[in-house]
Structure 1
């Protein structure tokens, strides 16, 4: 299926401010980016680089005044996330090197504090995919998804003490529990078709059965296309924007995701 996704961020900047942006999805397994647009107003020089997790990042310095960032992307993606009940646990000594950073505790995913909980909620599950599914069920059964509630980033341990949390918090709990079981887990930020209310979204992936699988405690099933923008250990690695210096004011943020019936047309070049 083809998705067309857009985002628009409007800021008020009090003084010249450096930004680190992460708003460009790239083609990956099961995700083909056919066309994109990235517009900054005012226009400023951009330096792009790829971070240690393979994300496309942009460095800019913007002057005082209004700042608008507008993006648009056309992507071919599956119309739902794969499932694999029974996919086996991969022993640590057999894991690919690139998965190892996603085994350790991180700033917002204190997996060393989730050992008891993780083993309790997965006690009757087969090792591997089924453990991850049991963790998702625990989060759904014990937490209420409350989009728009979380203005501050809190850790998995803090989130687990609360009842109403946002998608980012749910992903943090899932990641921390998976890592406590020696299952690599990483955070993903991107677009989800038919998300209500529409916004940029966070979920997590776990490495079982020799590949990464998507898990999203906010959704009742795996239907709906997704465009992944960024991957990381937790929210600290996948912030769509980071500004340095005095705080800036985010005046407005708008996100849209629509399904396209046909591939994007190719405009003729004269």
Structure 2
């Protein structure tokens, strides 16, 4: 199926400020970008580069005054994310090299502090996909998904002490527990069809059965089209924008996601 998604950001810039944006999804085996628009107002030069995780990043110097970005994209993707109960655990010596960074503790996913907890969660579950499912079930039982519950980024250790959290923070906990079991796990930021309230969304992927699979503690199933924009070790790697210098004021942000008939 085809999904149309858009994101608009409006800023008030007091002094010329350098920005890094991460707003362009790329085609891959799970999604195909058919059409895309990326408009800066006022129109200014921008340079694009690819970060170590393969994300498309845009670098620019925003001028003083009102500054806005309008992006839209038509992407072909599946109506639901793949699932594979029973998919096997991949021994570390058999993992592809590109998955190895996603085994290590990171700033917001302190996996070295979750060994005992993760082991207790997955007792009696087969190594691999079924362990990841057990972790997601634990998170859903223990912490309430509350959109807009907090603006500050919360680490896995911190969210594990809370009763509610946003999607990004739930993903951090899932990632930390998977890595504690030597399962590579990475954060994903993107669009999700039928999200309420509509916003950009975060989930995680784990490498089991020889490929990456989607896991989302905010859902009781994996239905709805997804468009991945960025991948990383945790939220520090997948910020949709990073501004340097005197803080700029974000005046408005708008996200839309809807199913369409074709990319035309």
What TM-score do you get using the length of structure 1 for normalisation?
0.97
Q: CA deviation at 1:102?
A: 0.2
Q: Determine if the alignment matches structure 1 residue 61 to structure 2 residue 61.
A: yes
Report the secondary structure of 1:101's partner residue: helix
Q: Matches of 1:44 and 1:157 in 2, distance apart?
A: 41
2:262 equivalent in structure 1: 263
Q: Matches of 1:90 and 1:150 in 2, distance apart?
A: 35
Report the secondary structure of 2:34's partner residue: strand
Deviates more, 1:151-160 or 1:186-195: 151-160
What pairs with 1:169-180 in structure 2 (closer than 5 Å)?
169-180=169-180
1:94 equivalent in structure 2: 94
Q: Matches of 2:2 and 2:108 in 1, distance apart?
A: 33
RMSD: 0.6
Q: Matches of 1:5 and 1:150 in 2, distance apart?
A: 24
What pairs with 1:198-213 in structure 2 (closer than 5 Å)?
198-213=198-213
For residues 42-75 of structure 1, the C-alpha deviation after alignment (integer angstroms, 9 at most, x for no partner) is 1110000011100000000011111111100000
Unaligned ranges ≥5, structure 1: 266-270
Q: Matches of 1:150 and 1:91 in 2, distance apart?
A: 37
What pairs with 1:108-127 in structure 2 (closer than 5 Å)?
108-127=108-127
Q: Determine if the alignment matches structure 1 residue 43 to structure 2 residue 49.
A: no
1:236 equivalent in structure 2: 236
Q: Matches of 1:238 and 1:41 in 2, distance apart?
A: 23
For residues 205-232 of structure 1, the C-alpha deviation after alignment (integer angstroms, 9 at most, x for no partner) is 0000000000000011011000000000
Unaligned ranges ≥5, structure 2: none
- Which 4+ runs in 1 deviate beyond 6 A? none
Q: Matches of 1:129 and 1:44 in 2, distance apart?
A: 46
Report the secondary structure of 2:152's partner residue: coil
Q: Matches of 2:152 and 2:42 in 1, distance apart?
A: 28
Report the secondary structure of 2:104's partner residue: coil
Q: Matches of 1:70 and 1:116 in 2, distance apart?
A: 45
Q: Determine if the alignment matches structure 1 residue 168 to structure 2 residue 150.
A: no
Q: CA deviation at 1:142?
A: 0.2
1:197 equivalent in structure 2: 197
2:138 equivalent in structure 1: 138
Q: CA deviation at 1:106?
A: 0.2
Report the secondary structure of 2:189's partner residue: strand
What pairs with 1:214-229 in structure 2 (closer than 5 Å)?
214-229=214-229
Q: Matches of 1:187 and 1:152 in 2, distance apart?
A: 17
For residues 53-110 of structure 1, the C-alpha deviation after alignment (integer angstroms, 9 at most, x for no partner) is 0000000001111111110000000000000000000000000000000000000000
Number of aligned residue pairs: 264
Report the secondary structure of 2:21's partner residue: strand
What TM-score do you get using the length of structure 2 for normalisation?
0.99
Q: CA deviation at 1:264?
A: 1.8
Q: Determine if the alignment matches structure 1 residue 80 to structure 2 residue 80.
A: yes
